[in-house]
Structure 1
């Protein structure tokens, strides 16, 4: 990458730029409801809406704005084809597990179509096929095994050697009956219908406390609280560590670029490959005879690597393979992989009676979040579906299947926790940080995260993540501080942008000459 490379297009997601802003109130009083849902993304809103349909009183509590986190920066595929999940499930948990996964995920795809029809939601819902493909001939055997496993699990799956992509593939798994949509338009309509059913929606309400009991109570940063019989934590990465979920989740950040494409060059499906650090492709109607091509990929751990170079690679790949115009948007999103690659949806921990969690969607949060909404509603109603055990977060404590991945993840966290402290900073003092850049600098023996704005002013905060103390790293592409251990993200002023951290990075006073 050269220093002259500029990130292309609007620095925001297409979904955020083409949907209305929200302005729900912050929690300003004590509230008593049947269920408190912490998190206003697709999992939280789907859960709240499904619960409201059962006649329960529900409150959604979102730290920022609803549908403006991962759900506002997703690729927005509604698919039960999740790369190579079915063959892996057959090998690790058996054919029945693969069948239940397919049934629950495909059910979520169909559930969205039902809700869109019921509420008459204009969200660009399109029904089409999904593909997992490989260009490298070495990947075809895995695709053939996946096609068989997916078909045996009950999906309309087949192995094919041709697609409508503008380049040759060695093979692909094709599953029909899938969909794509505008996630923000869908979720904002869901939230408004929730309100008509008596549901409460609170924004700018960061929940920092959870007391389990009969009833439970959640407490906001402001001091106001909500009492509820049941609590659902659907904050992407759980903001409470009592279930030790931080040891069973690996954060993953991915980039997206988007550019207009002539409608007659639309590849006519949703595509994904694990090659080249992942490449995911879909299009969106623009209403002017063109489609917007969205390409996602370049998976990396937050706080590592060079996002600007990754953006350059992804943008170059899009322009090399498709006849697109100038890049219109670029953005990034974050998700978490569970150690066995199956979402964690159900009771929060082994002793939980009225607290539940939804996390670990591994990049498939659209179908996963809708599935979670239905699953949690049935669990709270005392009518668990057949796939409840498959997703049960307590499963990894009763099986050793997830142990190798768990140990690997913890070794990586330990490497950052210890190794980053031993590593010498790449700048010697605050004065060495160029305008528009950030670096971790040792000041008076203390590690500080220092960003120098374009005007030359230094903004310094503690470099220790307030979650578990790992050192943050600077993301130059998004001008943020990120924790490589569990994915917490902070603004240059230390404000929490993404959990599991609940508290901001402490402000530090420095001078331009400081550093040792």
Structure 2
């Protein structure tokens, strides 16, 4: 996985997550028969596993269903900061929601961090958990005003922190806002112990089990791709993009990708977790890899399937790492995807009014380590009938006029533009132009197709029409995937679904037998 710096680019060839590579996880069976449970949790990431952990403790019969492998999605590709400092958010929350709601947002995320810490101490979990101060810094004086406004919001909300002109990190910064006593950890080492607890206390987990639709009722009935059904008193959609989209979530969630490098450097790290106020985003934290300190450099986010070739984002982070930290070696690289709501507050709670037994958690805006835990605690309280003071703030049924309307309109105009433009796009490349290790949209017999050729020369060709709503997918050169620019569905180069909302794979094409002129 390691690639030495020889004066040229030092990116590892293939993306891989350190968290996943360094954790041995058990595999679980595929659901192959109809079953009845009290709680069916769709999604085996940090939200699903944490919710199962909480409900098993309450004595519920719980089953978790994961479409691929547990902890292999966004959870396995995070930067793993456990913090209530979600960029410059609190001044904006006060403006849009009011001071009390902004305070609740902070408290809910801070309670989540404390829950993780208490769980680690109670169960003796070794997962590299450590307290760190978190900083949002600015490299340009143009953003100092924003930092000071955020610091004022901290003071109004009683948050421990404030404005500082200097940060411990040796990097160009003209000021920062600090939030004290936040944390970082190894998420999969933590969650693997929760999985053990779930199994030991009667919970069950299924992998390669794709939920496709649900019948409302009590019990609700969840249908799976292989034809089996699960009846459940309660259903929790913790699948990143909600598998049951009866509320039109695809139009109210906007997918964003970001990128991570694990960097080996000779410079000592002073501690702390950092993210800049400017664009493109640059996020920095330390991590221990094979007993040695390294840095995670992340950011360069963009809307999924849109913008410049994805490999350029890795290269931009590489340049930043070399210039600011003297990076000698990039040990790992990976990317992650998350969903953003119009008002930047997650959807957590009952999926709709009157649907008292179906719950959803999504829209974490790349801050899923704290938000997922607060989601698991909130949903657990709703299921056991315990009052939770954060229910209204995170309710999926809310609609805050400012800024939701403008954001929804803007994003759906963007979706429509990509849907239309993709249908008229006819690329210049043909199959004969595809080299080993390369993927691209190509023209075959006058039609649009997607092609990838492995280093061994094996050719994979797919129909580029997304199976969700018919947008035309684009090639992701950084991760070797096909990404949809409309709603963020992602597919492997063979056409298999990696991330929803799409549920069906892309159609595989034999270029010698398909006549595009009649399609």
Q: Distance in 2 between matches of 1:169 and 1:98?
A: 27
Classify the secondary structure of the residue corresponding to 1:393: coil
Q: Is the 8 A contact 1:441 1:515 kept in 2?
A: no
Q: Any idea what the Cα deviations from partners look like across 1:165-193, whole Å, max 9, x if unmatched?
A: 11231111101121100001011111111
Checking the alignment, whether the CA contact within 8 Å between 1:9 and 1:328 is kept in structure 2 is: no
CA shift digits 1:313-356 (9 cap, x unpaired): 10110111114331111111110111110011111123422111
Q: Select between 71-80 and 453-462 the one with higher mean Cα deviation.
A: 453-462
The answer to whether the aligner puts 1:437 opposite 2:438 as a matched pair is yes
Alignment of 1:468 with 2:469, yes or no, is yes
Instruction: Note the C-alpha offset of 1:432.
Output: 2.6
How far the C-alpha of 1:152 sits from its partner, in A, is 2.1
Aligned length: 509
Asked if 1:390 corresponds to 2:393, the answer is yes
Secondary structure at the residue paired with 1:484? coil
| Residue number among 313, 317, 322 corresponding to 1:319 in the alignment | 322
Once the two structures are superposed, what CA deviation does each residue of 1:69-93 show, in whole Å capped at 9, x if it has no partner? 1000100000000001100000011
- 1:273 maps to 276
Comparing 21-30 with 402-411, which one deviates more in the overlay? 21-30
Structure 2 Cα separation of the partners of residues 241 and 369 of structure 1: 20
**Which residue of structure 2 lines up, in the alignment, with residue 294 of structure 1?**
296
Which residue does the alignment assign to 1:409?
411
Q: Does 1:504 align with 2:519?
A: no
- What is the CA distance between 1:468 and its match in structure 2? 0.8
What is the distance in 1 between the residues matched to 2:443 and 2:72? 35
- SS of 2:462's equivalent in the other structure is strand
Specify the alignment match of 2:69 in structure 1: 65
Mapping for residues 350-389 of structure 1, pairs under 5 Å: 350-389=353-392
Deviation of the 1:276 alpha carbon? 3.9
Q: How many angstroms does 1:513 deviate by?
A: 12
Aligned-partner Cα distance in 1 for 2:495–2:13: 27
> Within 1, Cα distance between the matches of 2:486 and 2:160?
39
Q: For residues 451 and 168 of structure 1, what CA distance do their matches in structure 2 show?
A: 41
- Residue pairs, 1:77-226, within 5 angstroms: 77-226=81-230
Partner of 1:451: 452
Match of 2:312 among 306, 309, 313: 309
- Distance, in Å, in 1 between the alignment partners of 2:293 and 2:513 is 48
State the 4+ residue runs in structure 1 displaced beyond 4 angstroms: 512-516
Quote the residue 2:347 is aligned against.
344
CA deviation after TM superposition for structure 1 residue 444, in Å: 4.2
CA contact (8 A) 1:46 1:373 kept: yes
Give the whole-Å Cα distance in 2 for the aligned partners of 1:128 and 1:454. 43
2:19 matched residue in structure 1: 15
Partner of 1:243: 247
Alignment partner of 1:404: what SS?
helix
CA offsets 1:393-418 (integer angstroms, 9 cap, x no match):
1102x745410011111011111101
Distance in 1 separating the partners of 2:189 and 2:457:
40
Once the two structures are superposed, residues 260-300 of structure 1 have per-residue CA deviations (whole angstroms, 9 ceiling, x without a partner) of: 245x7113011011424100000013464x31100001101
Cα distance change of structure 1 residues 512 and 295 upon mapping to structure 2, 3 Å threshold: farther
Aligned partners of 1:95, 1:276: CA distance in 2, in Å?
Answer: 27
Using structure 2 for the length normalisation, give the TM-score: 0.94
Distance verdict in 2 for CA 1:504–1:9, change over 3 Å? closer
Query: Shift of residue 150 of structure 1?
Result: 2.5
Distance 2:14 2:509 in 1: 32
Structure 1, unaligned runs of 5 or more: none
The 8 Å contact of residues 131 and 175 in structure 1, kept in 2 or not, is answered as yes
Tell me the equivalent position of 1:492: 493
8 Å Cα contact 1:41/1:66 also seen in 2:
yes
**What is the RMSD computed on CA atoms of the aligned residues?**
1.9
Whether the aligned pair in 2 keeps the contact of 1:430 and 1:512 (CA below 8 Å) is: no
Contact kept, 8 Å, 2:43 with 2:66, in 1: the verdict is yes
Residue 238 of structure 1 aligns to a residue whose secondary structure is coil
Give the Cα separation in 1 of the matches to 2:13 and 2:268: 21
376-385 or 498-507, larger mean C-alpha shift:
376-385
**In structure 2, the residue corresponding to 1:275 is in which secondary structure?**
coil
Structure 2: gaps spanning 5 or more residues: 1-7
Check 1:257–1:59 CA distance in 2 against 1; reply closer, same or farther (3 A cut): same
SS class of match (1:342): coil
Question: Any conservation in 1 of the 2:108–2:374 contact (CA below 8 Å)?
Answer: yes
| TM-score after normalising by structure 1 | 0.95
Q: Give yes or no for contact 2:447–2:516 (8 Å, CA) kept in 1.
A: no
Matched residue SS, 2:387? coil
Matches within 5 A, 1:29-48: 29-48=33-52
Worse-superposed segment, 335-344 or 415-424: 415-424
Change (3 A) 1:358 1:118: same
Q: Is the 8 A contact 1:450 1:461 kept in 2?
A: yes
Q: Secondary structure at the match of 1:367?
A: helix
